[in-house]
Amino acid sequence: MEIIKAKTAGFCFGVDRAVTLTYDLVNQGRKVATLGPLIHNPQCVADLAARGVVTADTVEDIPEGYEAVIRSHGVSAAVERQLRARCAAVHDATCPFVAKIHRIARRASEEGKLLLVAGDAAHPEVQGIVGHTDGEVFVFGDLAALQAFSTPENCQKPAFVVAQTTFQVTKWEECSEFLKKAYTNAAIFDTICNATSARQKEAEELSRRCDLMVVIGGHHSSNTQKLVSVARRFTRAVAVETAGELSPAQLRGVHRAGVTAGASTPSSVIEEVLDRMSDVIREEELSFEEMINGDSMKPVRAGDIVKGVVTRVLPNEIQVDIDGKQTGIVKFDDFTDDASVQLSEAVKEGEELELYVLNVRDQEGIANLSRKKLEENKGRQEVREAAENGTVLEGDVTEVNKGGLVVKVKGVRVFVPASQTTLRRNEDYTTMDKQKVQLVIKEYNPPRRIVGSIREVLAAEADAKRAAFWETVEEGKTYTGVVKSLTSYGAFVDIGGVDGLVHISELSWNRIKHPSEVVNVGDTVEVYVKALDRENQKVSLGYKKMEDNPWEKLKNEYPIGSIFTAPVVSLTKFGAFVRILPGVDGLVHISEISNERVEKVQDVLKVGDEVTVKLLDVDFDKKRISLSMKAAVADEETDAE
């Protein structure tokens, strides 16, 4: 039987974000409660409970002093207010896709529009959406319910239409077509999560090719039940929550089985089900004759994988007993590449090892075995499967050259071209040397060529960060970012997967010719959002601080009537400009230079002269300052008398 695992199976972005956040809080020693089960997976919820996380049915059930996590389904506006009033802290893990629907619901209320919601009225996500509008709202589960509601009067009402993020795609398409024809003034928002849509589409494609679909997920999960519904349109489908629920009878006679999982299913549960299916396959394929004769009667041949018990450990080799009938030898070079390893410390007599048969010396009946070859073969198999499934792998960079990087993955050499090493062009990929990296396999053609991409993994992570950023960003919000590049007109700063521009005028209160006078590439800086262009996804940032504004310093430190000494910085026909503070110059009008008549300013002053002046007036709106030298002299003479 062939088993095909769906690429989209398992945690979606929103669920993974909520689970990671909760575990991080627990690991920090925080007292945490979730309003309702965090995800539709009893095993994950039970593990969190074992770590002290409280699952509360209502806000009042949350113990005093606990911090609350809002799960990815989101909550109504009223419930969120109750949480913030009761809890020590509230951590909002609402899925960005759900948060978007909340905003649409609030707009419907503000604009007095009817809100139509495609989904399950009893589902927490839908209840949360409904709780973000004060206007008229109707929830429908299918086309029939929508048609029943759509009287001529209702069809003429201005309306916003949204869908539960896990709503069945085919049902949504049917309802959308009806809405376009029946409603004269309706704005239809496609709010089904991209991951949900992709997961349902892949489930449909797999179902068309397979004799059986195994859908893994919580029995109460809407997402999982929709996958079962999609699969059963084309083939036989079974839903399981754990590997223990899958029986050999369900797999009997199946030639090809597809496996998918809901958005709340951890990868560990998926792997347990796959292992269970593999065990059943092995049990089914074991023939009656093999059961009678037993595998131990088979001769050991080159290429076999055998288990041997260590009988003796020497400095340069290990001797093992294979099934009590044959001796095997593992030479040091076939055990490890690490010359620092001591065999006597690495293995002990009586230990069982799984080994690859290199060859058998027939006359002596001794088998030459290798652990390295076994691990290499296993690694190649995992890398091959990862290439087919698009799975992200982790490896160590072992070599850097002009063409790119060499990464050791599961003992397999993978080449990453320079163009696939970094997210941005011209970034220095040599800094990755001897580092752990994540990559996907783009080309698998051993032994000649196995090619990977680090860039693709980084791009996917960046996409997720950008999506999360645009869901939470707002004007005035402060970020700590890293300067990524400089241009003549400003600095680009990475503030979490998105590059924002700090215009040169926003870098300093003083006039500067180039951003490098203030910041350099690689600097960590604190910036704030000045303006957003959501349509074009552009962010304008501010850097200079109000407290550094020299005009504010002037207001605080130099009251009208102040007398001080300052340098002359420029001369004009009508007077001299004096530097009070960096970026702030005041004018001594020609008539205020001396009590005696001055024909030319240059006859009395020159640039660089230190002069004593009195502050007469400041126009902060026009940025104009009036100073007087003769008034300063008069005041000093008065003080002397």
Give me the active site residues, please: 125
Instruction: Give residue for tokens 């002397």.
Output: 640
Read out DSSP for 427-470? --GGGGTT-EEEEEEEEEETTTEEEEESHHHHHHHHHHHHHHHH
Half-sphere exposure of 204 (CA within 13 A, CB side): 12
The b-or-e profile of 370-408 (16+ CB within 10 A means b, else e) is: bbbbbbebbbbebbeebbeeeeebebebeebeeebbbbe
248 touches 277 (CB < 8 A): no
Residue 138's nearest CA partner among 166, 112, 172, 162 is 162
Residue 211 carries which side chain, given as an amino acid letter? Answer: D
Sheet with 2-5: list strands edge to edge: 2-5, 256-261, 212-216, 236-240
> Which single residue is written with the structure tokens 């990868």?
267
Task: State how far the Cα of 637 lies from the Cα of 641, in Å rounded to an integer.
Answer: 6
- CA–CA distances in Å: residue 507 to residues 494, 512, 543: 16, 9, 5
Residues with Cβ < 8 Å from 519, sequence gap 6 or more?
A: 483, 486, 491, 507, 525, 543
Does residue 42 contact residue 241 with C-beta atoms inside 8 Å? yes
Backbone angles phi, psi at 399, to 5 degrees: -155, 140
Cis peptide before 447 (omega within 30 of 0): yes
